């Protein structure tokens, strides 16, 4: 595990940039079959969730190097380095899920958060992450969606 992260009054992790997540560290995101449209990975795969801080869930590879992404939910996985969202002024922080069926001590999030509050990740941000992503566990006959 990494060191502690900031929490709000509801025990949600506050968007932050975690100093122990290095720019060269890989963030991995498992691919659900639902993310595949027409033989390609939908760009929505890189979109904000609707949680309170609109984060994008990922796993920090160095904390779970042996995680299996061929399971009941996932058919593969892609990865990108933490510097890609950071170069677009997004924050990459640590948000471990400590208990429950989704327990995940490697869980990280990518947020768009500045002094004016939380906003959704924009199409330009997803474009950058999409273009910088590579397969971790490749899915046969599926392409990572790329822009020109």
Partner 1 sequence: MASLNSIYENVRQPDAFSTNSSRVYKPRTAFRSLVPYVSETPWSNYLANELAELQGLDVGWDGYGSPPVHPLSAHHANCLLAGVNYILNNSINSELAKPDAPYLVPVSGGALQAEWHFNNSIIEIFFEKSEAACAVFYSESNQVDEFHEEEVLPSVGNNVDATVLLEWFKRAAEIDNAITAAA
Chain residues in the site for partner 1 (CB under 8 A): 30, 32, 34-35, 37-38, 40, 42-44, 47-51, 54, 56-57, 71, 73-74, 97, 101-102, 104, 107, 123, 127, 145-148
Do 89 and 48 meet the contact criterion of CB atoms below 8 Å apart? no
Task: Select 19 or 65, whichever has its Cβ closest to partner 1.
Answer: 65
CB of 56 to partner 1, least distance (A): 8
Cα gap 20→57, rounded to integer Å: 17
CB of 77 to partner 1, least distance (A): 9
Place of tokens 């768009």: 112
CB of 20 to partner 1, least distance (A): 21
Both tokens of residue 118? 């939380």
Task: Select 7 or 37, whichever has its Cβ closest to partner 1.
Answer: 37
Task: Select 62 or 104, whichever has its Cβ closest to partner 1.
Answer: 104
CB of 51 to partner 1, least distance (A): 6
3-state secondary structure 2-52: CCCCCECCCCCECCCCCCCCCCCCEEEEEECHHHEECCEECHHHHCCCCCC
């Amino acid at each position: 595990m990494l060191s502690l992260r900031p929490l709000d009054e509801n025990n949600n992790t506050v968007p932050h940039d975690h100093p122990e997540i290095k720019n060269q560290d890989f963030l991995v995101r498992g691919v659900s079959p639902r993310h595949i449209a027409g033989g390609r990975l939908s760009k929505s795969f890189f979109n904000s969730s609707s949680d309170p801080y609109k984060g994008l869930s990922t796993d920090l590879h160095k904390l779970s190097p042996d995680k299996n992404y061929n399971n009941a939910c996932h058919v593969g996985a892609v990865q990108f380095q933490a510097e890609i969202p950071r170069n677009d002024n997004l924050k990459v922080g640590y948000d471990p899920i400590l208990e429950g069926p989704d327990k995940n001590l490697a869980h990280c999030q990518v947020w768009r958060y500045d002094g004016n509050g939380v906003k959704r990740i924009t199409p330009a941000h997803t474009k950058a992450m999409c273009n910088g992503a590579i397969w971790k566990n490749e899915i046969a006959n599926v392409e990572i969606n790329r822009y020109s």
